[in-house]
């Protein structure tokens, strides 16, 4: 088992940096998260991406 001893001031500084990083991460997540506009896209029961499917008949052997 390894034991690490650090000074109180170093611990407090590390704790402060970790707290600041946490706040920065939350701000970053808010920037990159899609905004909820209340609009629904697509149609009920549709498969996501189905607008890219081509409709037609298939010639099956046999």
Give every CB contact of residue 42 below 8 A, 6+ residues apart in sequence: 48
Over residues 21-61, the pLDDT tens digits come to 999 998 888 888 766 655 555 555 566 665 555 566 666 66
pLDDT for 32 = 85
Band (pLDDT 50/70/90 cuts) for residue 18 is: very high
Distance between CA atoms of residues 3 and 6, nearest Å? 10
Distance between CA atoms of residues 28 and 46, nearest Å? 32
**Percent of the chain that is helix, strand, coil (3-state, to 5):** 45, 0, 55
């Amino acid at each position: 088992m390894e034991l690490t001893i650090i000074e109180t001031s170093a611990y407090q500084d590390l704790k402060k940096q970790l707290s600041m990083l946490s706040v920065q991460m939350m701000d970053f997540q808010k920037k990159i998260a899609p905004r909820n506009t209340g609009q629904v896209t697509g149609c009920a029961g549709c498969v996501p991406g189905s607008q890219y499917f081509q409709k037609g008949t298939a010639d099956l052997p046999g």
